[in-house]
Amino acid sequence: MIIGLTGGIATGKSTVSNIIKSQGIPVVDADIISREVVMPEKEAYEKIVACFGEQILNDDKTINRAGLGEIIFNDSEKRTMLNDIVHPAVRKEMRRQADAYLRSGESLVVMDIPLLFESKLTHMVDRTWLVYATPEIQLQRLMKRDHFSEKQAMSRIHSQMPINEKKELADVVIMNNGSLSELENNVLSLLKQTEKQT
Ligand SMILES: CC(C)(COP(=O)(O)OP(=O)(O)OC[C@H]1O[C@@H](n2cnc3c(N)ncnc32)[C@H](O)[C@@H]1O)[C@@H](O)C(=O)NCCC(=O)NCCS
Ligand SMILES: Nc1ncnc2c1ncn2[C@@H]1O[C@H](COP(=O)(O)OP(=O)(O)OP(=O)(O)O)[C@@H](O)[C@H]1O
């Protein structure tokens, strides 16, 4: 079984994914893969430089992620251009990693995909789990974690489908408005139920 783990920016996907990994369940992480596929030797890198110019590079020629983020989270056309370059490579690598885990005998694999609903990728998974925090808590967590101003945080939140809309689409909603230990208990009991079904 493949579970698609999603949420809004900073609602707690990575935190949940770490709990899942601590139980020995493999997680394929779209954010990690999206960093790997834009390394200088990769195909997507050249396309990004051609599209956004050398000014989005650091001195060591790697992509300046904060700088590129400032551009694409404030301009939906540029965001679509970046997505069109990066997403096909990410999808291909996610599929490859998930298949490898399944072939090696794992019965449960989790795919952590922030844009699962936006990119219409639900066909890649058997079930969807959404990590939910209220929009107010989401904003606070994002500002605190990334030291963003409210404006910077809101531009990122508005680049995604609103979390309350995602909540309507998910098979399972993991509430994350409380403490980290409550979250851990929720996730562990959800995993127990799920493992019985696989
Ligand atoms: C713009 C970039 C360079 C900023 O990098 P940075 O290291 O600051 O952020 P990071 O990649 O860790 O993403 C943090 C979160 O931002 C959100 N996010 C990232 N990209 C997007 C996007 N294109 N649209 C909406 N939300 C996004 C996700 O919730 C993600 O978890 C980077 O996010 C990127 O390359 N984005 C395009 C690829 C993408 O869509 N990645 C997300 C999943 S595949
Ligand atoms: N229950 C909680 N209580 C307090 N802080 C939390 C809780 N859950 C998550 N956090 C914190 O909120 C921030 C966002 O969580 P996390 O990084 O897991 O979100 P994410 O959904 O993976 O974000 P992104 O979309 O940017 O990858 C982190 O600093 C994390 O430590």
What residues contact 176, with CB distance under 8 A and at least 6 apart?
11, 12, 15, 16, 131, 132, 133, 183, 186
Q: What is the CATH number of the domain that holds 184?
A: 3.40.50.300
Which of 14, 22, 179 for a ligand 2 pocket mutation test, highest count of atoms within 8 Å of Cβ?
Answer: 14
Work out which ligand 2 atom sits closest to the CA atom of 9: 25
List residues near ligand 2 (CB under 6 A): 7, 9-15, 31, 114, 141, 145, 176, 179-180, 183
**Helix residue spans in the chain (DSSP H):** 13-22, 30-36, 43-52, 65-72, 76-103, 135-146, 150-157, 163-169, 180-197
Instruction: Write the DSSP assignment of 162-195 as a string of letters.
Output: -HHHHHHH-SEEEE-SS-HHHHHHHHHHHHHHHH
In the block, residue with structure tokens 């001195």:
59
How many CB atoms neighbour CB 57 within 10 A?
18
pLDDT of 196 strictly over 90: no
Angle at 101 between CA 23 and CA 19, to 5 degrees: 20
Which residues, other chains included, contact 131 with Cβ-Cβ below 8 Å and sequence gap of 6+?
5, 6, 7, 11, 12, 13, 15, 16, 174, 176
Ligand 1 contact via 83 beta carbon (within 6 Å): yes
Residue 17 CB less than 6 A away from ligand 1: no
pLDDT in tens, 86-139: 999 999 999 999 999 999 999 999 999 999 999 999 999 999 999 999 999 999
From 9, 29, 34, 141, the mutation candidate for ligand 2 (largest count of ligand atoms within 8 A of CB) is 141
Task: Summarize pLDDT for 75-93 with one digit per residue, the tens.
Answer: 999 999 999 999 999 999 9
Please give the model's pTM, rounded to 2 decimal places. Answer: 0.96
Domain count along the chain: 1
The CA distance from 161 to 8, in Å, is 8
ipTM computed for the complex: 0.97
- Structure-token pair, residue 49: 């430089």
Give the domain extent around 147.
2-197
